[in-house]
């Protein structure tokens, strides 16, 4: 513990010396999140300065090994770091699919050379990654994907189409599942490729959703040449990587989604209820809606308790396994229900799509409700999560 206190003193001193005052506390110039990559912009030069200093210390990914751009901190040291940063109201900001999804898979499956190259770039926020998994004909049945990669000398030549590639139009690289052996059983003919989005033959087009514009894109591959050195893991064993990565994706969706469960809108559900029922205090007059609100609040308490229990178990050495599916399932459904309740409670103003007499917040409520419909589909539908729970957690036989 003495070591930890020494570490805390060091961190505190370093923060005091290096963190610009306008990158601390309320009204700081820091962006909510830094997605990184070639298109990253900075509202204020000091935000960039602070980010660069974090990168130099490896504090964008504090627990990663130093060789891969991290700081090699233990979980306990990282906790101290986070506490000290929270104390002065600053953050490390960097968050993207590279960190949350690709990196854990690379740590497990990539060659040393690939790790040094790609993990370091992720840690430094240089590359923004997107995910090339789903295809128009391969949704829940992901392993039936048909994008082809044919070996030609030291390259693969990739042809096909990916869908739901979030932020593909603003990303630098894509991690992609491709079919390298069409004759093999479907899970055994897939390889995992890392592809530069600037490669000739790649194009993207955005997808409009029921909620309006969205981060989702389609990505097309037309004779795209990809060096064989950019394949992760053995040829035709890409499904192993894919599965590990999906587990991390579900964990990310379960863990990172607190905002969506709580609703990112400014007012709490209770506040919306009070305003729309014209009941500033006391018992809510609409008993049925009141009961729905209670149910939602209670579910959230139980969900948070379950998340905490899992984290406490993780601290005691038990990592999250397939039960991540439970969190993904529950959080997405709870978020969806909250958004649905909010939309119904908001009433007529939330029915307006656009107009000159409609508050922005109400329009936001409608879009969240609509966008929330995607949450029980993306990252594996609720039905797929139920399949995973019944097979991997409960051990029920396949059908």
Partner 1 sequence: MSLILNEEQVQLQDSAKAFVADNWAVGELRKLRKDTGKGYPEALWRKAAELGWLAIPFPEEYGGLGLGFAELGVVLEELGRGLVVLPIVSSVVLGGGALRLGGTDAQKQTWLPKVCDGSAVLTLACQETSRHDPYAVRSTATPAGDGYVLKGRKVLVPDGHAADAVVVVARTSGAAGDRSGLTLFIVEPATPGVKVHRNLLLDSRVAANIDLQDVRVGADAVVGKVDQGADVLDQVLAEAAAALSADMLGGIQQTFDITLEYLKVREQFGAKIGSFQGLKHRAARWFCEKELSKSIVLQTLRALDDKADNALQLASVCKARLSDTARLSGKEGIQMHGGIGVTDEHDIGLYMKRGRVSEMLFGDAAFHRNRFAELRGY
What is the Cα–Cα distance from 346 to 96, expressed in whole angstroms? 33
| SS3 state of residue 212 | strand
Q: Does 280 bind partner 1 (CB under 8 A)?
A: no
Nearer to partner 1 by C-beta: 162 or 342?
A: 342
Q: Is 312 in the site for partner 1 (CB under 8 A)?
A: yes
135 assigned to active site = no
Annotated catalytic residue, options 77, 84, 249, 323: 249
Q: Which part of the chain contacts partner 1 (CB under 8 A), choosing from 78-86, 104-112, 159-167, 325-333?
A: 325-333
- Contact pick of 298, 347, 351, 359 for partner 1 (by CB under 8 A): 298
User: β-strand 155-163 against 148-152: which pairing, if any?
Assistant: antiparallel
Q: Cα–Cα distances in Å, from 291 out to 189, 294, 327, 350, 394?
A: 51, 5, 24, 21, 32
What length is written for the chain?
Answer: 399
CB nearer to partner 1: pick between 69 and 335: 335
From 296, 40, 43, select the one nearest 55 (Cα to Cα): 40
Q: Is 389 in the site for partner 1 (CB under 8 A)?
A: yes
The one segment of 58-66, 195-203, 221-229, 382-390 that binds partner 1 by CB under 8 A: 382-390
Quote the tokens at residue 337.
């229900």
User: Binders of partner 1 among 234-273, rule CB under 8 A?
Assistant: 270, 273
Contact 60, 71 (CB under 8 A): no
Q: Least distance to partner 1 from the beta carbon of 383, Å?
A: 7
Q: According to CB under 8 A, which one of 197, 272, 329, 339 is a site residue for partner 1?
A: 329
What is the rounded distance in angstroms from the CA atom of residue 122 to the CA atom of residue 60?
9
Distance CA 303, CA 332 (A): 11
Looking at residue 396, the DSSP 8-state letter turns out to be P
302 binding partner 1? (CB under 8 A): yes
CA distance readout (Å), 296 to 54, 135, 299, 364, 393: 39, 35, 5, 20, 26
Select the residue interacting with partner 1 from 16, 72, 291, 347 (CB under 8 A).
291
Structural tokens at position 325:
């599916």
When asked if residue 200 is in the footprint of partner 1 (CB under 8 A), the reply is: no
Which of residues 150 and 377 has its CB atom nearest to partner 1 in the complex? 377
Q: Which two tokens stand for residue 64?
A: 């990663």
- Binding-residue total with partner 1 (CB under 8 A): 43
* 8 A C-beta contact, residue 236 and residue 189: yes
For the CB of residue 294, give the shortest distance to partner 1 in the complex, in Å.
Answer: 4
Q: Which sequence positions are flagged as catalytic?
A: 249
Binding site for partner 1 (CB under 8 A): 270, 273-274, 281-284, 290-291, 293-295, 297-299, 301-303, 305-306, 308-309, 312-313, 315-316, 323, 326, 329-330, 383, 385-387, 389-390, 393-399
């Amino acid at each position: 513990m003495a070591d930890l206190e020494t570490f805390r003193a060091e961190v505190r001193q370093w923060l005091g010396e290096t963190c610009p005052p306008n990158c601390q506390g309320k009204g700081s110039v820091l962006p909510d999140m830094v997605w990184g990559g070639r298109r990253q912009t900075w509202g204020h030069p000091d935000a960039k300065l602070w980010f660069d200093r974090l990168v130099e210390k490896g504090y964008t990914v504090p627990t990663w090994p130093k060789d891969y751009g991290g700081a090699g901190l233990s979980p306990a040291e990282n906790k101290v770091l986070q506490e000290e940063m929270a104390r002065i109201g600053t953050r490390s900001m960097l968050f993207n699919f590279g960190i949350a999804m690709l990196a854990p898979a690379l740590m497990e499956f990539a060659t040393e050379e690939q790790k040094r190259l790609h993990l370091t770039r992720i840690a430094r926020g240089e590359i923004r990654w997107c995910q090339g998994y789903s295809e128009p004909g391969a949704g829940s049945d992901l392993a039936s994907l048909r994008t082809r990669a044919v070996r030609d000398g030291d390259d693969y030549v990739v042809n096909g189409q990916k869908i739901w590639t979030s932020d593909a139009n603003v990303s630098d690289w894509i991690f992609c599942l491709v079919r390298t052996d069409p004759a093999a059983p479907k899970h055994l003919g897939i390889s995992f490729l890392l592809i530069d989005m600037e490669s000739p033959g790649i194009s993207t087009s955005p997808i409009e959703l029921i909620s309006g514009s969205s981060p989702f894109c389609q990505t097309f591959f037309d004779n795209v040449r990809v060096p064989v050195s950019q394949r992760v893991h053995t040829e035709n064993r890409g499904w192993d990587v894919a599965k590990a990565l999906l587990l991390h994706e579900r964990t990310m969706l379960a863990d990172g989604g607190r905002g969506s469960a709580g609703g990112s809108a400014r007012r709490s559900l209770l506040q919306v209820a009070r305003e729309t029922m014209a009941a500033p205090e006391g018992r809510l007059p609409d008993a049925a809606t009141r009961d729905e609100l209670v149910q939602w609040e209670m579910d959230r308490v139980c969900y948070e308790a379950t998340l905490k229990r899992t984290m406490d178990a993780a601290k005691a050495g038990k990592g999250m396994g397939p039960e991540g599916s439970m969190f993904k399932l529950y959080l997405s459904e709870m978020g969806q229900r909250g958004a649905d309740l909010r939309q119904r409670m908001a009433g007529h103003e939330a029915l307006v799509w656009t107009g000159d007499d409609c508050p922005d917040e109400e329009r936001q409520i409608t879009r969240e409700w609509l966008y929330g419909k995607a949450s029980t589909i993306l990252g594996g539908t609720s039905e797929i999560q139920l399949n995973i729970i019944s097979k991997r957690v409960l051990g029920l036989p396949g059908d």
